[in-house]
């Protein structure tokens, strides 16, 4: 069975998360992804925990379904080799800084001169333009500067980051989307193009209505804990043995909840419509908490769902690791790791009827495919491979 991106060659000069994850997603759908890593050192995340049998699970989370070569792009010889690889690529993905790319002759203009049809995707903290373009940042910094962190936490508490690197994941999926749009456009026009992905901008775009609202009215909402600022009741509630999230976000859903709980107080004028419920949320939520206090989580979720009320239990990653849902949805997939053997790995939420990789490659060992790639793509022989290795170029 052919894969949706079969025949597309992606060269990625990436490290950390957003860039490698972009390549991994493209690789899952059949692209030939060549991860160019620093000669002798590799991607910095190879040294990041958590570890299993001395091997980094962090690196493995973002680098399956691709091949690894090593290259010192900071030397004249390494730069030329990189340009030769890019000359035979459809897509270039990088999340190195603009200053690094300029210093090493790998800007869009540089690469386009060698390969006019290249789709060049640059992922960065703040984009290639604007006053922050040279700033360095990791995910938490971008969450802080995007306004997202200001929206997380309790109303009277300090802002909180998300518990995961949500910015890098957001940036990677935006990059994949941009690359696929550009590939589709190239089919019509024959032209490549530059894709400029700002992770901070992608997070700002997730602020919903808040910036337009503030510009129009001079006010907007920030931290509301686990509540939604615009609908009620919508919160995480304690049960006898855990927590359940209830989102009765329409009048019909609220009326179903009233019917289910059976407390006549919920029919008061205080709770007659969404605006009144938001204004009197503390009193309303106390009624819900009292009702849930002797209820077990999973059975009450079944009852809520049967009444048509959006709801679900609070799960931990440990719960999900033992839940068949992640297997039913192929969220966790088996991969053949070159060092660890068959191990579980995270898939993608993108599901299609066909065209995906049925057998996944584990994250490659550093430079595992040097001989394979340099022979296949650039036509090197044994003597050339030995020469470049001994010179520290690969």
Residue 124 · residue 136 · CB < 8 Å = no
All residues at 6 or more sequence positions from 72 whose CB lies less than 8 Å from its CB, including other chains: 38, 39, 40, 78, 392, 393, 394
Q: What is the chain's length? A: 394
Q: Looking at residue 1, what is its pLDDT?
A: 59
pLDDT in tens, 281-334: 999 999 999 999 999 999 999 999 999 999 999 999 999 999 999 999 999 999
Residue among 268, 255, 260, 267 at smallest CA distance from 291: 260
| Burial environment of residue 9 by CB neighbours within 10 A (0 to 12, 13 to 18, 19 or more) | middle
Q: Looking at residue 356, what is its pLDDT?
A: 87
Q: What angle do CA 200, 202, 203 make, to 5 degrees?
A: 65
Q: Distances from the Cα of 208 to the Cαs of 145, 234, 241, 244, 315, in angstroms?
A: 16, 17, 34, 25, 26
> Exactly one of 65, 168, 196, 337 is catalytic; which is it?
168
168 included as an active-site residue = yes
Residues of the chain with pLDDT under 50: none
Q: Looking at residue 263, what is its pLDDT?
A: 97
- Upstream peptide bond of 119 is cis (omega within 30 degrees of 0): no
């Amino acid at each position: 069975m052919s894969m949706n991106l079969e025949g597309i060659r992606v060269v990625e000069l990436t490290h950390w998360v957003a860039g490698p994850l972009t390549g991994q997603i493209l690789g899952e759908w059949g692209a030939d992804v060549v991860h160019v890593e620093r000669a002798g050192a590799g991607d910095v995340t190879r040294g990041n925990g958590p570890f299993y049998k001395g091997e980094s699970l962090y690196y493995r989370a973002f680098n399956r379904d691709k091949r690894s070569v090593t290259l010192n792009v900071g030397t004249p010889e390494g730069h030329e080799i990189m340009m030769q690889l890019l000359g035979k690529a459809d897509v270039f993905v990088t999340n190195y800084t603009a200053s690094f790319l300029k210093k090493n002759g790998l800007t869009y203009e540089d690469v386009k001169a060698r390969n006019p049809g290249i789709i060049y995707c640059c992922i960065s903290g703040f984009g290639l333009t604007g006053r922050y373009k040279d700033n360095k940042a990791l995910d938490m910094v971008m969450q802080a500067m995007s306004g997202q962190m200001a929206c997380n936490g309790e109303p009277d508490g300090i802002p909180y980051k998300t518990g995961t690197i949500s910015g890098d994941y957001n940036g990677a999926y935006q990059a994949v989307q941009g690359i696929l749009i550009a590939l589709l456009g190239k089919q019509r026009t024959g032209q490549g193009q530059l894709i400029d992905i700002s992770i901070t901008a992608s997070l700002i775009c997730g602020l919903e209505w808040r910036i337009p609202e503030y510009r129009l009215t001079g006010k907007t909402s920030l931290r509301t804990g686990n509540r939604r600022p615009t609908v009620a009741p919508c919160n995480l509630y304690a049960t006898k043995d855990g927590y359940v999230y209830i989102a009765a976000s329409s009048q019909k859903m609220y009326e179903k909840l009233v019917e289910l709980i059976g407390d006549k107080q919920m029919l008061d004028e205080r709770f007659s419509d969404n605006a009144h419920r938001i204004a009197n949320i503390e009193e309303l939520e106390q009624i819900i908490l009292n009702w849930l206090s002797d209820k077990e989580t999973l059975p009450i979720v079944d009852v809520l769902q049967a009444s048509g009320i959006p709801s679900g239990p609070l799960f931990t990653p440990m719960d999900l690791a033992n839940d068949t849902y992640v297997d039913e949805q192929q969220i966790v997939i088996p991969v053949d790791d070159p060092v660890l053997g068959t191990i579980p790995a995270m898939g993608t939420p993108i599901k299609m009827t066909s065209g995906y990789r049925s057998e996944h490659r584990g994250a490659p060992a550093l430079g595992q495919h040097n001989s394979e790639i340099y022979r296949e793509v650039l036509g090197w022989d044994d003597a050339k491979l030995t020469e470049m290795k001994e010179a520290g170029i690969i």
